[in-house]
Amino acid sequence: MIELRFHGRGGQGSVIASKVLAVALFREGKYVQAFPAFGVERRGAPVTAFLRLDTKPIYLRCEVYQPDHIIVLDPTLMGVPGLTAGLKEGGSILINTEKQPSDFKQFSEYKVATVDASGIAIKHRLGSKTQPIVNTAILGALAKVSNLVRLESVIEAIRENIVLKTEDNARAASEAFESVSV
């Protein structure tokens, strides 16, 4: 079983990202489970979403405590204690930031990838300049760095599940796939 943990803020699309990724993985024949954990449900509050995938049915019903991959939709969360708690040895961290992976020396024991998902979302008018919605861009980058899912499946799931600015979201995912740094 492979487990992912998404860290973001309310309004960035962390929960939708986990759901869209689950649809893409399901289309590829995987068993999936995606669910959020909320604190205070309001825009800007920290949000965590979880996803599990496997080639056989998943019976585990709890939060993800030892993820294989961590996806950070808001770079301001990088300083939060415990962000990488439980991340498996050799695990990966995908960060929405303009910085390069080499700028995150504190995570040298993990595979770090970065993508300017905020810049891509702003370019494609997803959300606002001050509050871009980065979920589809981050999924495109995740498809590239994780090899868990094909970009084509992500784009199909976006087209099936994102009803506003569908093609802009698909283009954001494709651009992030091409521009992610490892």
Euclidean distance between the first and the last CA atom of the chain, given in angstroms as a whole number: 24
Inter-residue contact 60 to 50 (CB < 8 Å): no
pLDDT tens digits along 74-89 = 999 988 888 999 999 9
Sketch out the chain's domains with CATH numbers: 2-179 (3.40.920.10)
Q: In whole angstroms, what is the distance from residue 39 CA to residue 29 CA?
A: 32
In the prediction, which pLDDT does 42 show?
62
Helix, coil or strand: residue 113: strand
Single pTM value for the model: 0.94
pLDDT tens digits along 37-91 = 866 556 667 889 999 999 999 999 999 999 999 999 999 998 888 899 999 999 9
Inter-residue contact 55 to 17 (CB < 8 Å): no
CA 174 to chain centre: 14
Q: In whole angstroms, what is the distance from residue 17 CA to residue 12 CA?
A: 9
